[in-house]
């Protein structure tokens, strides 16, 4: 077990409690443009959360000519409401605790890069890097993890990814990164259907203790085992 060097957080639904408002407005757009019931649109948004909204629409309404314009409306609404996005009150304590353990902190989100940058300004000295969706070649998942490996001198076994969605869990599994679930958007029963061995923290403040325990276990594994045959106090190695 490797010691953790970098904790990678999802943003929306994990550090920032925005999923309810996002799902509500997405459902409003689905009612208006696709004829869904509001509750159906809400549940479908939640079900596909963790993907960029344009990809969510493609999953729900494959090849629909409205997808691009509806996604643009959604992203424009998010920009207009950025100042209503607040970090959870315990986040500052979490960041302080992780830094005290000597860890780096990153954000990996499929929200647009400019939105991630704006929200992250609340903790400029504590968030080491904030990565958002830039284009189809740079997004949460393999592109972000590759970037972190290259630019922060950290291997994947030394990362932990914390997220609230089932897609976050799938991404971590596909990318061979340890995943820690924060079950606010989905229940642990739902997470276990994706990964029966997934671990979780709830409330999220417990992540500091979880990481601390893992660091302690990693250190104990690294301690060399004494070979009894070379024990200077054994009778076999003592002079007669």
Strand pairing report for 129-133 and 159-163: unpaired
pLDDT band at residue 192 using 50, 70 and 90 as cut-offs: very high
- pLDDT recorded at residue 238: 42
This prediction has a pTM of 0.88
Query: With 80 as the cut, is the pLDDT of residue 236 above it?
Result: no
Q: How many CB atoms lie within 10 A of CB 89?
A: 9
* CA pair distance 134, 144, nearest whole angstrom: 11
Sequence-ordered list of residues with C-beta below 8 angstroms from that of 147, at least 6 positions apart, any chain: 131, 138
Mean pLDDT, residues 102-113: 97
Alpha-carbon distance values, 133 to 54, 63, 147, 165, 209 (Å): 11, 21, 13, 17, 30
Task: Give the SS3 label for residue 5.
Answer: coil
Share above pLDDT 90 across residues of the chain, in percent, rounded to a whole number = 87
* CA pair distance 135, 100, nearest whole angstrom: 34
Task: Give the SS3 label for residue 107.
Answer: strand
Single out the residue of 149, 145, 150, 200 nearest to residue 174, CA to CA: 145
- pLDDT recorded at residue 199: 97
- pLDDT recorded at residue 2: 87
Strand pairing report for 178-181 and 199-200: parallel
- pLDDT recorded at residue 116: 97
Q: At how many degrees (to 10) do helices 91-100 and 207-222 cross?
A: 20
- pLDDT recorded at residue 234: 41
Sequence-ordered list of residues with C-beta below 8 angstroms from that of 227, at least 6 positions apart, any chain: none
DSSP 138: B
Mean pLDDT, residues 133-146: 96
- pLDDT recorded at residue 224: 55
What mean pLDDT value characterizes the chain?
92
Tokens of 239: 């002079």
- pLDDT recorded at residue 227: 53
pLDDT band at residue 171 using 50, 70 and 90 as cut-offs: very high
Query: With 50 as the cut, is the pLDDT of residue 240 above it?
Result: no
pLDDT digits (tens, 9 = 90+) for 14-66: 999 999 999 999 999 999 999 999 999 999 999 999 999 999 999 999 999 99
In 164-213, beta strands by DSSP E: 178-181, 199-200
Query: With 70 as the cut, is the pLDDT of residue 226 above it?
Result: no
Single out the residue of 180, 171, 172 nearest to residue 202, CA to CA: 180
R_g over Cα of the chain:
22
Sequence-ordered list of residues with C-beta below 8 angstroms from that of 166, at least 6 positions apart, any chain: 50, 186, 190, 191, 194
């Amino acid at each position: 077990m490797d010691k953790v060097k970098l904790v990678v957080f999802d943003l929306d639904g994990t550090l920032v409690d925005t999923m309810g408002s996002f799902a509500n407005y997405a459902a409003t757009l689905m009612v208006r443009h696709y004829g869904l019931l509001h509750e159906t649109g809400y549940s479908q948004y939640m079900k596909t959360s963790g993907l960029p909204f344009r990809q969510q629409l493609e999953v729900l309404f494959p090849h629909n000519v409205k997808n691009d314009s509806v996604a643009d409306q959604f992203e424009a609404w998010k920009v207009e409401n950025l100042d209503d996005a607040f970090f959870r009150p315990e986040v500052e304590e979490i960041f302080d605790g992780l830094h005290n353990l000597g860890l780096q902190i990153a954000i990996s989100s499929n929200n647009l890069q400019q939105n991630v940058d704006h929200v992250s300004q609340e903790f400029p000295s504590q968030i080491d890097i904030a990565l958002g969706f830039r284009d189809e070649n740079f997004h949460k998942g393999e592109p972000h993890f590759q970037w972190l490996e290259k630019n922060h001198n950290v291997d994947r076994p030394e990362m932990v990814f914390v997220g609230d969605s089932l897609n976050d869990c799938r991404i971590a599994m596909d990318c061979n990164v340890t995943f820690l679930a924060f079950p606010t958007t989905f229940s642990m029963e739902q997470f276990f259907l994706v990964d029966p061995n997934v671990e979780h923290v709830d409330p999220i403040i417990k992540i500091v203790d979880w990481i601390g325990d893992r660091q302690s276990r990693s250190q104990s594994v690294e301690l060399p085992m004494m070979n009894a045959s070379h024990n200077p106090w054994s009778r076999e190695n003592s002079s007669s």
